[in-house]
Amino acid sequence: MGRQGCSLPTAAHATSVCRRGREKPLVSLPKFPICPPNPSHHGAAAAASLAAVTAATPAGGGMVRLVPRPPLARLRSPPPPAFPLPLLPAPSLAATLLDAISASPSFPHLRHLHALIVRLPLPPTSLTFLLSRLLRRLAAVPLPQLPPLSYALNVFSSVSPPDPFLAAALLRFAFLTAAQSRFLLLLPFRVFSRLRRDHGAGLPFLPYAFSTLAKSAAASKSLPAAAAAHAVSVLVGGFDRHRFVENSLIGAYVACGDVGAARKVFDEMVVKDVISWTSIVVAYSRSGDMGSAEEVFGRCPVKDMVAWTAMVTGYAQNAMPVKALQVFDRMTALGMVIDEVSLTGAISACAQLGVVRRAAWVQEIAERNGFGNNIVVGSGLVDMFSKCGFIDEARTVFDGMQEKNVYTYSSMIAGLASHGRASEAIDLFKEMVNRANVEPNHVTFIGVLTACSHAGMVGEGRYYFAQMKDKYGIMPSADHYACMVDLLGRAGLVDEALDLVRSMTLKPHGGVWGALLGACRIHGKGEIAKVVAEHLFKLEPEAIGNYVLLSNILASAGKWDDVSKVRKLMRKQRLKKDPAVSLFEGRDGLVHQFFAGDNAHPRTQEIKKALLKLVAKLKLEGYVPILNSIVYDVNDDEKERLLMGHSEKLALSFGLLTLGSGSTIRIIKNLRICDDCHLFIRLVSRVESVEIVVRDNMRFHHFKNGECSCGGFW
């Protein structure tokens, strides 16, 4: 129990279950406070580090022309000012100008204000304060009108002697504009170098200047830049014991993936605050080392909402959803407020678990607090409902979202694909690129290709695979190849799929070979399977599924000698197959768990009796058990007996007993549904007039009127 880390949850993820007579609700619904929605190490070394970083920065199309010009010379027919001309005493004048800066909608307005400010008789502190605010506002002007760096340098040069406060504001301007244009992310380093060259020791720097350099290093994920920011902050700034700067440096090292360097700065800090602690926790969450994250979090003396949230999202990102929800519950029990970010972590955990009641509770929190308008929360809800089996609810959330981005579309497309609604997924992709003008990325195409694969749409799949590269400039990754191999292989084009793998310039990973092995299973290609499996066993020696799959393929072909060889190999590797298990959530919210051949449920006699009756009824309708689905060398009677003990049949029988005709029965299974159970459930949906939704380890099957949404492609 407690296995974590598969793409869809196993039964073990349920927080509590009904088994061996022990009944507990799946989840309790705690009460907690909700916050209101948000309103909206030496001189030469330092120089060398800095030179390395600035040299690594590509030349920037004239943006770094550091030739100051008098601001007035740039004035060209300014528009009429949208504010009253200041005829007030000096303090009020500064206040009026500040209001005017905040309210200025465009670069021309701000330019006009700049001209005005430098002409007015303002005290020096007011002047630098206003100009720094002006720089901040200038950096927020949307891209087409975004002022060039040369203009910001003019602002800086408006004041003499050079002012440290304005220098920090100038660096921040460089950072913000570079971030906005996603170009020249290391621009602040260039500006810093220039300021050093022009003013030398005549211009001291404030700590904020170095935190901006650290931020710029973090944004560019450049470890040399982080090291350079570190070096100059100590050697030029003398800030080797400044908490603010140290925290920024930790953040930069974390963003660049150097946990060791981050930890070194942290360990050497004399005074640590919650931000220092949280940064280290995050460093371990991101590197997948939740054990160390737990240890550091445990030692953190004062924990705030952000620190707690870092743990929730850390667990969620590392496929430990049960722990994520436990931490989320603890933080709410302690009276911490919940905001969009912490809720996003809980949503992700619910999506991984597929727990319906908990998901509904999370949505209620989101709606009650207006978080539903948040694009990240909304996208998360779409994903969550899809993974809980409620594709229509996912679509409702999606349609209700005012703003959608590539995550929102990709979640919805992948959701539709996993529910077998391929044409809807393709239509949505077309809407995304043609009407909404949202640029697809590599993840979007995984969803599109999966949709094609699950519906046998070979032509469409080939078309989008080509379009991805030719139209959108996205080079296919091994994952995209895995989708294509799956698509071709399922459709029976196993040889073509093998050719595609052999033509790859990228090294095929387990996903690619695994898809091919799956195709061999469907189409009974025992000989190819053996070759494919060899690649897989080398790449993933401990992935039990590969051995089981090969063994099953060989068993279906009656090659029992080969089967025993594979089983021997498994024993040698000390690998043991996961037992098959199905979960059924009753109307009362209790989760009932059934293992294959299980007699443990309190109502087992009733369940088996009902199942036998059901089998007899189906046989009258033409049902013939698919004995081939049993991969053991036993006689046909025994095969049929084993088939009738399959966990999803037990869960279905119990579902029918408790819910009855006309209802929707939802079953979660940890392994792939077998051919016989698939046929069986299809027939039950017709004969008993029920809808049955089964989530297997990869996707959803919606059974209705004798048909399944997967159309046989699973």
Partner DNA sequence: TAGATACCGT
Complex with DNA: residue 549 or 614, whichever CB lies closer: 549
Taking the complex as a whole, the smallest distance from the CB of residue 178 to DNA amounts, in Å, to 15
Q: 372: which 2 tokens?
A: 């539903």
Residue 677 CB, nearest approach to DNA (Å): 14
Q: Measured between alpha carbons, how far is residue 68 from residues 154, 198, 634 in Å?
A: 5, 12, 88
Minimum CB separation of residue 517 from DNA in Å reads 6
Nearest residue (CB) to DNA, 237 versus 545: 545
Kindly state the smallest distance separating residue 376's Cβ from DNA, in Å. 3
Complex with DNA: residue 18 or 377, whichever CB lies closer: 377
Q: Are 681 and 694 in contact (CB under 8 A)?
A: yes
Question: What is the bridge-based pairing of β-strands 691-695 and 664-669?
Answer: parallel
**Would you say 159 or 305 has its CB closer to DNA?**
305
What is the distance between the alpha carbons of residues 584 and 603, in angstroms, rounded to a whole number? 14
Report long-range pairs for 62-65 (Cβ below 8 Å, ≥24 apart).
Answer: 62/148, 63/148, 63/149, 63/150, 63/184, 63/187, 64/149, 64/187, 64/190, 64/191, 64/194, 65/149, 65/150
The burial of 255, by beta-carbon neighbours within 10 Å (0-12 exposed, 13-18 middle, 19 or more buried), is given as: buried
Supply 92's token pair: 């009020």
Residue among 154 and 450 whose Cβ is closer to DNA: 450
Please state whether 580 falls in left (phi above 0), alpha (psi between -120 and 50) or beta. beta
Closer to DNA by CB, 104 or 348: give it: 348
Q: Which long-range contacts (CB under 8 A, 24 or more apart) does 592-597 make?
A: 592/17, 592/18, 592/19, 592/651, 592/654, 593/11, 593/14, 593/17, 593/18, 593/19, 594/647, 594/648, 594/650, 594/651, 594/654, 595/647, 596/642, 596/645, 596/646, 596/647, 597/642, 597/645
Q: Give the nearest distance from C-beta 420 to DNA in angstroms.
A: 11
| Cα–Cα distance, 527 to 512 (Å, whole number) | 18
In sequence order, which ranges of 573-635 are alpha helices (DSSP H)?
604-620
* β-strand partners of 477: none
Smallest distance from the beta carbon of 540 to DNA, in angstroms? Answer: 6
The least distance separating DNA from the CB of residue 212, rounded to whole angstroms, comes to 7
Q: How far apart (Å, rounded) are the C-alpha atoms in residues 571 and 117?
A: 81
Closest CB 537 distance from DNA, rounded Å: 10
Sheet with 591-595, edge to edge strand ranges:
591-595, 581-585, 664-669, 691-695, 700-704, 707-708
Q: Which is nearer to DNA, 107 or 129 (CB)?
A: 129
For residue 248, the minimal CB distance to DNA (Å) is 5
Rounded Cα distance, 468 and 480, in Å: 10
Q: How far is the C-alpha of 488 from the C-alpha of 482, rounded, in Å?
A: 10
| Cβ closest to DNA, residue 64 vs residue 536 | 536
Question: Residue 691, SS3?
Answer: strand
Minimum distance, C-beta of residue 201 to DNA, in the bound complex (Å): 25
Q: Tell me whether residue 208 or residue 594 sits nearer to DNA (CB atom).
A: 208
CB of 110 to DNA, least distance (A): 22
* Cβ distance to DNA smaller for residue 176 or 690: 176
Rounded distance between C-alpha atoms, residue 199 and residue 423, angstroms: 64
Min dist CB 710 to DNA, Å, is 11
**What distance in Å separates the CA atoms of residue 447 and residue 463, rounded to the nearest whole number?**
14
Our CB check for DNA shows the closer of 343 and 684 to be 343
- Indicate the helix (H) or strand (E) that contains 583: strand 581-585
Local structure of 582: helix, strand or coil: strand
Q: Which C-beta is closer to DNA: that of 384 or that of 644? A: 384
Report which secondary-structure segment, H or E, holds 546: helix 544-556
Q: Tell me how far, at minimum, the Cβ of 421 lies from DNA, in Å.
A: 14
Interaxial angle between packed helices 478-490 and 494-503, expressed in degrees from 0 to 180 and rounded to the nearest 10: 160
Query: According to the 3-state scheme, what is the secondary structure of 68-132?
Result: CCCHHHHCCCCCCCCCCCCCCCHHHHHHHHHHHHHHCCCHHHHHHHHHHHHHCCCCHHHHHHHHH
Computed on alpha carbons and rounded to an integer, the radius of gyration of the chain in Å comes to 31
For DNA, the closer of residues 63 and 274 by Cβ is 274
CA distances from 318 to 62, 345, 378, 663 (A): 44, 11, 21, 36
> Which run of H or of E encompasses 707?
strand 707-708
Tell me whether residue 156 or residue 445 sits nearer to DNA (CB atom): 445
Residue 18 CB, shortest distance to DNA, in Å, is 27
Q: With respect to DNA, which residue has the nearer C-beta, 190 or 699?
A: 699
Closest approach of DNA to the CB of residue 200, in Å: 25
| Nearer to DNA (CB atom), residue 7 or residue 661 | 7
For the CB of residue 692, give the shortest distance to DNA in the complex, in Å: 20
The Cα–Cα gap between 375 and 675 comes to 40
Assign 258 to helix, strand or coil: coil
Alpha-carbon dihedral 624, 494, 512, 348, rounded to 10 degrees? -40
Nearest residue (CB) to DNA, 295 versus 588: 295
What gap in Å lies between CA 352 and CA 319, rounded to an integer?
A: 7
Q: Is the separation of the CB atoms in 118 and 71 below 8 Å?
A: yes
- With respect to DNA, which residue has the nearer C-beta, 112 or 323? 323
Q: Measured from the CB of residue 417, what is the shortest distance to DNA in angstroms?
A: 7
Tell me the angle at which helices 340-353 and 321-333 cross, rounded to the nearest 10 degrees: 140
| CB 603 to DNA: min, Å | 31
